[in-house]
Amino acid sequence: MMAVRHHQALRGVLLENEPMARHTTWRVGGPAERYYQPADIADLAQFLAALPGDEPVFWVGLGSNLLVRDGGIRGTVIATSGLLNGIGQVDAVTVRVEAGVSCAKVARFCARLGLTGAEFLAGIPGTMGGALAMNAGAFGGETWRLVRAVETLDRNGQLRERSAADYSVGYRAVQGPEGEWFVAAVLELAMGDTDAAAARIRELLDKRAASQPTQQPNAGSVFRNPPDDYAARLIESCGLKGRCVGSACVSTRHANFIVNTGGASAADIEALIELVAATVQQQSGVSLVREVHIVGEESGG
């Protein structure tokens, strides 16, 4: 049975054996040994400082780019979504956003202020922390084009402020100081028009709804787009639209999405990911790079 207990010195909530299927957009995944919901950044710093040095730590936002295997996660999961949720205007063109704020909320917040440049974030089904970690993008926009500075925490609970120049950023890739996690960012926008920004967000969301399987459990794009091509085009050209393993299927609406049609296991999804990659490699010679992160233990492992 799942035990819920408040750590004496902490203000957050610690769950034990928490099913990760509740916290991933694919709706699959075994239990996390420990699942911590911090009260705020200061509370999280205290929690990290108290962890054993060899304790594995995983961070989860909306769980939208994540496949947790059926055997679950050994170690501690840090939950940010809706918890590290501060967002506010710093000056005329900058906004500070904590890691647990959804990308869609950031887009709407900036639009209401009449600030432009963040509209594309409405198309990213995750949190700011995840977007920072992988330089998430949509509709031609990329997260780190907006980043002026970030705040990070390390294993010892040390909070640091760093400039964007401390990081090497590429397509769906971010490299920076080892052993630090993003807890907030300062974004630099441009002055614009509230109505125009709101209209652009509606346009992008309509486009997303028309082209992606938003009504079925999925984790966004499974593979990165290879140079000068599209993963979805390659997958579709191999005749893989609608291909299933168990209840996990390649979406018939967008070939770079895998959907849980009901009752899929993480093993089904992982097997389908491997099948798609192997088929594309065999038929086109292109080696697709996975965008989705796979973590945890195989069932019975």
Catalytic amino acids? 172, 221, 291
**DSSP H or E segment with residue 110:** helix 103-112
**DSSP H or E segment with residue 147:** strand 147-154
Q: How far apart are CA 84 and CA 61, in angstroms?
A: 10
What CA–CA distances, in Å, run from 193 to 20, 27, 112, 116, 199? 41, 38, 9, 7, 10
Among 184, 183, 186, 185, residue whose Cα is nearest residue 44: 183
**DSSP string of 179-208?**
TEEEEEEEEE-EE--HHHHHHHHHHHHHHH
- φ, ψ of residue 138 to 5 degrees: the values are -165, 145
Long-range contacts of 278-281 (CB under 8 A, 24+ apart): 279/238, 279/240, 280/234, 280/235, 280/238, 280/240
Angle at 63 between CA 286 and CA 257, to 5 degrees: 35
Are β-strands 57-60 and 66-68 bridged in parallel, bridged antiparallel, or unpaired?
unpaired
Are β-strands 73-79 and 94-98 bridged in parallel, bridged antiparallel, or unpaired?
unpaired
The SS3 assignment for 268 reads helix
Token digits for 186? 């300062």
Q: How far apart are CA 80 and CA 38, in angstroms?
A: 7
